[in-house]
Amino acid sequence: MRKFYDILKITFLGTGTSQGIPIIGSNHPVCLSENPKDKRLRVSVLIEWDNYSYVIDCGPDFRYQMLRSKCTRIDGILFTHEHSDHVMGLDDIRPFYFKQGNISLYGHQRVIKSLKQRFDYIFATENKYPGAPSVDINILENKPFKLNDLKVVPINGEHAELQVFGFRFKDFAYLTDMKTVSDEETKKLKGVKILVVNALRIEPHRSHFNLKEALCFIEKVKPEKAYLTHISHLLGFHDEVEKNLPTNVFLAYDQLQLSI
């Protein structure tokens, strides 16, 4: 029998693109869909093992995502990059901070610099507002690091001209906002059982995989299963898209849970 700490539990907190689905004021048929799987918050995942809980990205929907998932503790947040749909929920770590103390943040030096500018009151060292949370900063480079007892391997990619990190946790890998991943970085994904990768829409996009590019990347990596995320309304209705995917490829949806 596998011990609990050998098992990763993954919860998709959000699977939508930067505006979420539905988009404010949109009359697009997908935005008007009543299927819960067509309603997508900004992209993020919760990864749990043993008694540890880490979140990848905390966008504008972070507060509601935490309430909806009934998450009561986070040990840290890993940032893929600094775009608003991935970082603007940072202030909502306050309840966690009040309960458990400093929250660990992990990101590229450029990302941490951006966070310091946008959330200067969190990073203040003098005359700090007493209601502000405090954080522990961990600068990530393109080399493996440890989260408690678990090895994490960064996967370096490009979001148009912007560097982004994906992350491999054991046999699970999570990549979002990718447009280009080199062969050398792709080798780091060899043997993954579950791959999560962005697939924005049908038509090509300058900074994201479209569906065809995502499927080609999945075929290159050859995971046992793959899940598509960072989805816009322009990809289509969840149920219609999924029935035309390869048998080992699925559309992720908000609140989907996986174990590996």
Whether 117 contacts 141, CB under 8 Å: no
- Cβ-based neighbours of 222, under 8 Å, separated by 6 or more: none
The pLDDT value given to residue 5: 52
Whether 254 contacts 41, CB under 8 Å: yes
The list of the chain residues with pLDDT below 50 reads 1-4
* Residue the block writes with tokens 């995971």: 223
- Alpha helices by DSSP H, 91-132: 94-100, 109-118, 120-123
3-state SS, residue 259: strand
Q: Is the dihedral of CA 195, 150, 15, 242 positive or negative?
A: positive
The pLDDT value given to residue 4: 47
Give the chain's domains with CATH numbers: 4-259 (3.60.15.10)
